[in-house]
Structures are given as C-alpha cells and as structure tokens.
Structure 1
C-alpha cells in the first residue's frame, strides 16, 4: 500500500473532551440545575476555543443535560420527575432488546468479563465508592451492549445514560448501592449461561421497572427535588 494512501492518525476531538468534562460536572452536581453556561467562559476555563465548546453544548442539549433559548440563555437543565420517567422508559425498552439479542452472541470470554466486572462492582459498592461502582456497572452492561451488535441501541443508550446517572449520584445508596443490584447481575449471568434470551430480557425489564418505582417514590417524597 503506498504511503500516501494511509490515513493520518486522528487526534482526540476537543469537542469530545469538552463534552465529557461538562457532562461529568453536571452528572455529579458540580454544575447545578439552572446554572448559566456561557460558551466563552467555559472555553476559557477549559483552555479551548469556543468552537469545540459550542459543539459540546449542542450534544449536551441533545442529551437533555443542558437547555437553551437562542439569544437568551444556555443553562444546566432541571432534574424533574417527568423527564427522568421518560428517559427510564426508553432505557428499559432498549436494554431489554440489547439483552435478548446478546444472549446467543456472548462468548466465554464475555461471560468471564461479566463475572469479573460484577465482582468489581460489589467491591466498590462495599467501599461506598460511587464513581467506581457506577463505572463498573456501566462496564458490565457495555459487555452486553457490545455483544448485541446493534450500534443504534449503543448510541442511544450512551446518550441517555447521563440523565440516569444524575439521579444515581444523588441517591446511590438507596437506589443502586445494595446487594440487590449485585444479585440482579448474577441472575442475568445465570440466564445467559442457560441461553434463556426471553428470560434475561424479562429479568432486565423487571429490574428497570423496580428502579423506576424507587425513583418515582423519591420524587414524590421530595427526597429528589423537582427542580425547574
């Protein structure tokens, strides 16, 4: 192959870096709901030009983490029950499809990774390390999503997950931090080992429904504020 036909090595996109920095700050509550986001200020803070920051803002708006009224404001979106419920409904449906599709495609290496990742999740839960526990849970489900082989589902889930993480960071212990999720992972692995696609999908849907009920109760009891 002629040297001049080779593609250049791509550098990490600065807009991606800006997006992940802002996304994580919103998810963790470092940027509060309603906080104004001026692209020039953000660009200066991150040491970037305004163009990648604007691109990052557009992605954050698409994901529901930021809201904007052209010429008036760009600000961190509120965290409210209606939006979270809508988000959960889509995640529940997509996760069930991904789980069912993944079962015949999971390899023994995947199964080993699932077990190891769930052990890691349990370790971080016991240490009350929210960041690492959520990262381990994401890694567990990413194995399933990758095995499903549907890039559309993967893209949409990646876009919607940060909204759920906003809630989990605030109420990790009561929603996601106990033995129940560890046991759910183990039950899923068991269904995978049995080759039970429908059973695994049903188990996933039940877990999402339970999580949705718990989150709804937190909003109703005002333990999660109806911001905005």
Structure 2
C-alpha cells in the first residue's frame, strides 16, 4: 500500500507540473524548485523530485546537478522529432483499431470533433486540445497497444507546447476537416484510407515546427 501511495503522489506531482509547463504557466527558461512545488501541491519533496526526474527524461525540464532545474526552450527540431514519433504510433494504432471499431466508437469520435471544431472557432485552446485527445484516444484504446499509447503520451506534451503557442499567435487549424475525413474512413472500415489521413494530420504538426 505504501508503494502504491508513493506512485500516486509522484504521478500527481508529475501531471500538475507537466500541465503547467505545457500550458505556459511556467515559461521556458524558468527555474523550478522542488520545495516550492511541494508546498504548492501539498506534498513532500520526494514525489516532486521524482516528477522532475521524469520530466527531464521527457525533455520538458533540463537539470544541472547542484545548480538548477529549469524548463526547456521550445526547440523546433525536438518538436519535429516528437511529432514524427507520435505520428508513427498513431498510424500503427489506427491500422489495428479500424477493423475493431464499433458504431458507438464512431459516434464518440464525431462528438469529439464537433467539440474540437467549436473550440477552434471560439479560440478555446484548452478545450480544443482536450477534444483532439478524446478523438484520437478512441483509436488508441481500441487498438489495445499499450506500448504505442505510452510512447505517444511521453512525447505529445512537447508538441502541445508549440501547438498552444501557434494557437495563441492566431494560427489557423485545418484539423476539423482532416478529422472528418478520418472518421469517414473509420466508418467505412477503410484501413488504408484512415492511415493515410492520420499520417496527413501528423505531417501538419511536423510542418508546424518548421522555422518561420
């Protein structure tokens, strides 16, 4: 039970700090201190330190022993690499999931895309990204591929930081239309078509990281 409790506290710290970094509440270059986050989250310093270590591994923090731990800058090359990896994982789960989808799954994807499109029109980046996750998570869940899911979860936050920045700068988003094509292919059990659209969706995110 003690080990489970420690894991839960570590995950709580990790998710809170990760989400703050992705949202831009903690800006690139900002120094983070375990004591401050422990107090803010009502935790001991141990789970916060473990969360810091995980975030260093995932590229959201960088650390110099006995000196500092700080938020990494948004580096276009890192985002492109992450988008390529995450895109490959989504292509894999799409190929596996499409033949297994039920009518209810298509309804869930369509509802998520409606929320996504409405949020994009309203300029609500938080809701847009949650809805985007909800849509693609259907395919991840149905595929049952835990390794692909874990890999995508690890690298998606690097991409989200840039997406949020571009969104805040007034960038446009073509994903609602791409999502509609993906959902149509899924409804038709068109595996190859669904994979092609998935690849196109993730290419747009790779392109997003190209320098202006």
> Fold match, TM over 0.5?
yes
Gapped runs of 5+ residues in structure 2?
none
Rg comparison, structure with higher value: 1
Count of residues paired in the alignment: 210
1: CA distance, partners of 2:98 / 2:196? 13
How far did residue 173 of structure 1 move?
6.3
1:59 paired with 2:48, answer no
Which of 193, 200, 208 is the equivalent residue of 1:214?
Answer: 208
Match of 2:199? 205
Match of 1:29? 24
Match of 1:189? 183
Instruction: Please report the RMSD computed on the Cα atoms of aligned residues, expressed in angstroms.
Output: 2.0
2: CA distance, partners of 1:106 / 1:198? 15
How does 1:7-22 map onto structure 2 within 5 Å? 13-22=8-17
Where does structure 1 differ by over 4 angstroms across 4 or more consecutive aligned residues? 173-177
1:161 paired with 2:156, answer yes
Deviating more after overlay: 141-150 vs 67-76: 67-76
2: CA distance, partners of 1:211 / 1:63? 19
2: CA distance, partners of 1:85 / 1:175? 20
1: CA distance, partners of 2:204 / 2:189? 24
SS of residue matched to 1:13: helix
Cα distance 1:149–1:175, how it changes in 2: closer, same or farther (>3 A)?
A: farther
Determine if contact 1:175/1:215 at 8 Å carries over to the other structure.
no
2: CA distance, partners of 1:76 / 1:173? 19
Gapped runs of 5+ residues in structure 1?
1-6, 222-228
